Amino acid sequence: MKLFASYWVGACLAAKTLAISPVVHSNAGTFQGRYLPGFDQDLFLGVKYAPKPVRFTPAKLNLDTPGTSVNATQYGLDCKGYGSDTNLLVAGNWTKIGEDCLHLNIVKPRTIEKNLPVLLWIYGGGWQQGATSDPRYNMSYIVQQSVLNNKPVIGISINYRMAAFGFIYSKEIKDTGNQNLGLRDQRLALQWVNRHIASFGGDPTKVTIWGESAGAYSVGDHINAFDGNNDGLFRAAILESGGAVGAPLNGTDWYQHMYDNLTESVGCAEAKDSLQCLRNVPYEMIAPYGYQSLEWFHVIDGTLIPRPGQQSLVSGKFGKIPLILGTNTDEGFGVNGVNTDEEAANQLVHSKRWNINEEQAHRLLELYPNDPTLGEPYGWGNRTWPENGLQWKRYQSIATDLTMYAPRRLLAQSMSKHVEIVFSYRWDAPMFNNTPNNIGINHFTEIPFVFGNTEQQITPLGIGLANIELSRLVMRMWTSFAYDLDPNGHGVPQIASWPNYASNATNFVFRTDKSYIEEDDDRAEGVAYINTLVR
């Protein structure tokens, strides 16, 4: 187990920690945690918010068991995922995978202070992979910065089911009401936090939910869920590279063949009740088939996702809460090999990342001309990369705006009509190890900065002073926002004041040389058109 590498827990703790290990008594149980002297933090890891769920069925909140002793010193199982990140974490012994995976982790400053605000992390990974044990999501560093800034917060990270285990869909799933299980897991975790975080010194009325990519889309879904009624589970949100619109909302016609392929793969195709058959199949048999070459995403279910996100925002049927939201300069969601207008239109219509018809595709091509000076990656002038496609920069620009940039602007504009506390950003600082094959400021680039873990080497922050200082700034901004809803209370000198979006539609541009404020008007006509599309 590499917990020491993730949380600086070394052999020196062996004797000392036992004497000072934290204990929390709550209705959920008596939790024995782990003290982290390097950060002066108490950790409660692998806390079950739900028992092992019945496969392809909504999970249930863990029953209160106040007399039960719980060892919360190690991560629990992570949920099954599919992709390079999962493979890396398993191969490196960072994580163990299984279905009994609905855990959360609590990182809190060692303090007698009560009612601390809570910053709750929902990882991304396309809803196909992700794990709270991933060292890139180690919350000790960001919690430490909150303490150094005299605005202490508690950090929480939550697991949820992914791929088929969390987002399976078909006529069978629809008819039995088992949609969006991963999102329901997240809401269940929020309910557990609401009921029990006070015992750990947290304030259940001051929870900020925070996610990146699919985690940010999840946050957007929770903002829109139940027409905006969040039952007091969170008061604010931070969305990095994701929003309340953007991820495709497909129906059973899209997913049925994926479900049928799954049943065929495990011998359930001829069963009278194929869904029950899938539940009865041993985990080891079904686990290899939970990803069907196409992703399982969220779907409209009438309650948690009542309608397309664009309609919820335009109609005002969403939760009115303070926000930080933003995107990276060059998110990079296009594809290679697009050389002609015809190929570009064909890719737009048939992409798995959005639902666009031919008329809309051709309108987008009109609004995004094949001019290299206007395309993504931005700031490279006339330079092109013909090996990636003669219209690569054009298609990248359209793809980023469809998936990230336009949804971010729509949510900022929509929320600002009701809430003054909205802050928008653009991340424009490259990764430490940028290579010629990683052109621009791509998706996930900001993650090493916002978590500030200088020890992990999967996606390293680096040790350069400029990166360290920018990391300190963004960690303090995020935790200051969680603490009192103002990211400007970071205590770092000579930083431009971040205006709220309602009074001044601008972005805070994060850079290692000098961050600044810009007008939020890039590609105005194209973005405005995208935001008229119902999706």
Tokens of 218: 């999840």
What is the separation of C-alpha 8 from the centre of its chain, rounded to a whole number of angstroms?
A: 25
Q: What's the CA gap between 179 and 183, in Å, rounded?
A: 9
DSSP element (H, E) containing 265? helix 252-265
Q: What's the CA gap between 7 and 81, in Å, rounded?
A: 23
- Tokens 């009278």 belong to 272
- Tokens 């990182």 belong to 107
Q: What's the CA gap between 5 and 13, in Å, rounded?
A: 13
Q: What's the CA gap between 338 and 391, in Å, rounded?
A: 5
What's the Cα-to-Cα distance from 141 to each of 280, 340, 353, 468, rounded to whole Å? 42, 47, 33, 12
DSSP assignment of 303-320: SSS-S-HHHHHHHT-S--
Tokens of 267: 């011998």
The one-letter code for the residue type at 33 is G
Catalytic residue among 140, 213, 471, 480: 213
Q: What's the CA gap between 218 and 242, in Å, rounded?
A: 8
Of the candidates 140, 70, 84, 149, the residue with the CA atom closest to the CA atom of residue 109? 140
DSSP assignment of 96-154: -B-S---EEEEEEES-S--SEEEEEEE--STTT---TT-GGG--HHHHHHHHHTT---E
Q: What's the CA gap between 232 and 222, in Å, rounded?
A: 12
Under DSSP, the state recorded for 379 is T
Q: What's the CA gap between 304 and 181, in Å, rounded?
A: 10
- Other beta carbons within 10 Å of 525: 10
Q: What's the per-residue H, E or C state across 398-436? A: HHHHHHHHHHHHHHHHHHHCCCCCEEEEEECCCCCCCCC
- Dihedral, CA of residue 421, residue 197, residue 449 and residue 122, to nearest 10: -80
Q: What's the CA gap between 313 and 409, in Å, rounded?
A: 11
β-bridge mates for residue 323, sequence order: 237, 422
For the question of residue 315 being annotated catalytic, the response is: no
Residues in the chain: 535
Q: What's the CA gap between 4 and 9, in Å, rounded?
A: 4
β-bridge mates for residue 509, sequence order: 426, 516
DSSP element (H, E) containing 52? none
**Residue positions annotated with a catalytic role:** 213
